[in-house]
Structure 1
């Protein structure tokens, strides 16, 4: 691959990432959320209660980030933390009724954002997009073993 092609790919991914995050922030603000918090809510909605360490792995973020997000969401009444029955050093995080209601709002917002993002694309391309993006993500995953 030559530099011009590489630059075009890398710049497009960078612009998409920046603009998607900015658009996400604008849509989440009226709900009182910041980017990243919606992913935590949706993960708990999908999986149920989870210890913070596993939540960190599931979200692909560092444990201190999950701790900070959890504290803020707990202060707002959307999640609750309790010591894990298996390991008192670990905290189990779960959605409250308020958090479940907020997760439902985030799901609707997420659908709108996805539709906005893929507007004008052919249905076949949209159907292929998650697989393509997941491949790209896997290719740059720092945990990926390279030979």
Structure 2
């Protein structure tokens, strides 16, 4: 691949990422949320109560980031944190009724954002996009690169 093609691809991905995050922030603000917090709430809605370390892994973010998000969401009454019954060092995170109710609004917002983002794309492209994006994310996953380097 030559530089011009690489530059065009990297710039397009960078701009998509920046604009998607900015639009996400705009849509979440009326709900009192910041980008990333919606993913935590949706993961808990999908999976049920989780140990904070598992939540970090599921979200693909560092543990301190999950701790900070969890503190803020707990202060807002959206989640509850408690010690794990079998390991006092581990923290279990679960949705409160208020958090569960909020996830319905997040799901609607998420659908609207996806529709806006994908407007004008052929149905076949939309159908293939999740797998394609997962492949791209995996290709640049720093944890995977670190594991591959350490194994070699």
Fold shared per TM-score above 0.5: yes
Q: What 5-or-longer segments of structure 1 have no aligned partner?
A: none
Partner of 2:48: 48
Partner of 2:4: 4
User: 5 Å matches for 1:54-65?
Assistant: 54-65=54-65
What is the DSSP-based 3-state SS (H/G/I as helix, E as strand, rest coil) of the residue aligned with 1:128? helix
CA–CA distance in 2 between the matches of 1:86 and 1:16?
43
Structure number with higher helix proportion: 2
CA–CA distance in 1 between the matches of 2:117 and 2:54?
30
CA–CA distance in 2 between the matches of 1:131 and 1:114?
15
What is the DSSP-based 3-state SS (H/G/I as helix, E as strand, rest coil) of the residue aligned with 2:111? helix
Partner of 2:141: 141
Deviations 1:66-119 (A, max 9, x none): 111001100110000110011001110000000001111100100000000000
TM-score (norm 1): 0.98
Partner of 1:124: 124
Q: What 5-or-longer segments of structure 2 have no aligned partner?
A: none
CA–CA distance in 2 between the matches of 1:14 and 1:86?
43
CA–CA distance in 1 between the matches of 2:132 and 2:93?
32
What is the DSSP-based 3-state SS (H/G/I as helix, E as strand, rest coil) of the residue aligned with 1:91? strand
User: 5 Å matches for 1:7-22?
Assistant: 7-22=7-22
What is the DSSP-based 3-state SS (H/G/I as helix, E as strand, rest coil) of the residue aligned with 2:93? strand
Q: Structure 1: which 4+ aligned runs deviate by more than 3 Å?
A: none
CA–CA distance in 2 between the matches of 1:99 and 1:11?
36
Q: How many residues were matched structurally?
A: 147
CA–CA distance in 1 between the matches of 2:26 and 2:110?
12
CA-CA distance at 1:142 after TM superposition? 1.1
